[in-house]
Structure 1
Amino acid sequence: MEEPSFVVRADQLPALYYLDRNHPRPERLEWINRGTDSKLRPSNVDMLLRTLFRGSGSPSLKKLHESAGLRAVFSNESQRERFARAFVDARRQLYSKSTHMVTAIFDSPEIAEKAVEELGKMGITDEAISLVWRTSQYLDTQYETADGHGYLGIASAMAGGGLAGAMLGTAILLIPGVGPVAVAGALTGSAFSSIATVTGIIGATGSGIAKMLTDHDVDGVSATLYEQEIRQGKVFVSVDCVEGGCDPDAIHAMMQKAGGETAGMNAGSLA
């Protein structure tokens, strides 16, 4: 008998970040070629997740993007149907655009800190600004601490000055596969709960950073791209123009002038 399953197309993976936390959990997950129903090699899955939504590529890469899917296998048909309904709702949220959150990625903490300073000069308060960055780019994700030097203690010390000092309230998240990640500003209050609700099906598409960003009203496609950049050591900055009482267009222009690569007002493109 065929097992009850639901296949999520690669281009709809960001919808997973909008799933209700009570959605049915699959018994197992499989990356497949939807055309041949064969399992993808780990190297192809890695390539898929690193290149998805990044614009044009080779014909073979485009074929991978178009044919790949994540298959969730459930214990019974009822579970599968409940998941399918939850996914329809999640996909609807993915395509509902928000225009109040302006986002950008910066190549280094120094550049991001200057951008934050400029935001302050424009009258934007800490309550409207958020930052996310890896606290160390030289710590391996499998790093083991020496006696008397806790992992979080080291990460906290790294985040204690410089960029973190520009913001009130800094949290350190130890994210599997990434290592210590610092969250500062408005995102701090919700960061821990966002990471805590990451399920297996979301974890199959990334580390959970994207889930944290979508909970912060960053659209799913942009969040997927930003997660990849944060993993590479870049710094994410956002401004909530409802909280900050600011003009999104003006903030968008400032971020670009300060050196930020931005997906615009949720345009979903970091080519």
Structure 2
Amino acid sequence: MKLFTARQYIPQDLSISVNRGVHSIHDYPPGNKAVGKREFWKIAYIVEGSGILEINGIRHHFRSGYLYLCHPDDEMAYELTESILLYQILFQREFIANELKSLYHAYNFFDLFSSEFVPMDSSLHEQLHVFDTNRNIYALIRRMAHEYEYHDANTGEMLKHQLLELLIELARQSTRSFARKRREEISGIVSDYLYRNYRQSISMQKIANKIGLSRGRLLTLYHQQTGRTIGKTLLDIRLGEAKRRLAESGEESIERICYLSGFTDLANFYKYFRRETGMTPGDYRASARRAGAEPPAGSVSGE
């Protein structure tokens, strides 16, 4: 994997680079799998041409007028069927770190620039990668390129304000995109979050904040789409994990399995487990042992 360093591409006195260039089909032919990462954030606007951009294993088809935004940890590879003309804006977080603190977005768009953000762990990040933009965004990027070439004593401040304007425009565009997709995707986003975090204390308000809904609206939409509550889904995930551990392990204590499965109270664990299976955890383990059973369906994979 190739690493593109900040020293190679970004002048130290600005912490940002804006350039217009060409990527050729010779460098990025069809089937190309050469992956790269960066020490900086990258925004690219496609002026001419088309192709495929693979980011973290997700393939995005792009054409003229598309823009993509990449985190330093994103793993990227181009596949081109024709050369592309593009603008590239490369910058480091420090360039706008102070200003980011005051920015807000309903779908946590600006979390992308948080030091804790991990692209591979985000169920929303892939939807923030590629935008079909408009003339206003193209005009703003051209102004940034002109300012970068002009380069006087105020260029750094001007580019900072222009970059923030661009990011705010992209945040607003992502709001419109999420608003269109929210109803059909809400159950998948929530379920993915529960599977990733079932061992932790789950806050419905925190989930609602991440998605950009009120708590009540979140609960209503999820129930409409799945026919069940978020709480019941979480309980089923935790019970499925407990059943898997009981069936597979003869060494772990039932108390440890209780906590590893996301339950915080042993008495409640016994109550819910008996209600679900008709037997105690100990009886379930003994029954699974006698039958030589595989872990029951519904358990959490990847452990």
Q: Same fold by TM (over 0.5)? A: no
TM-score under structure 2 normalisation? Answer: 0.20
TM-score under structure 1 normalisation? Answer: 0.22
Higher radius of gyration, 1 or 2? 2
Q: Which has the higher helix share?
A: 2
Q: Does 1 or 2 have the higher relative contact order (CA < 8 Å, sep 6+)?
A: 1
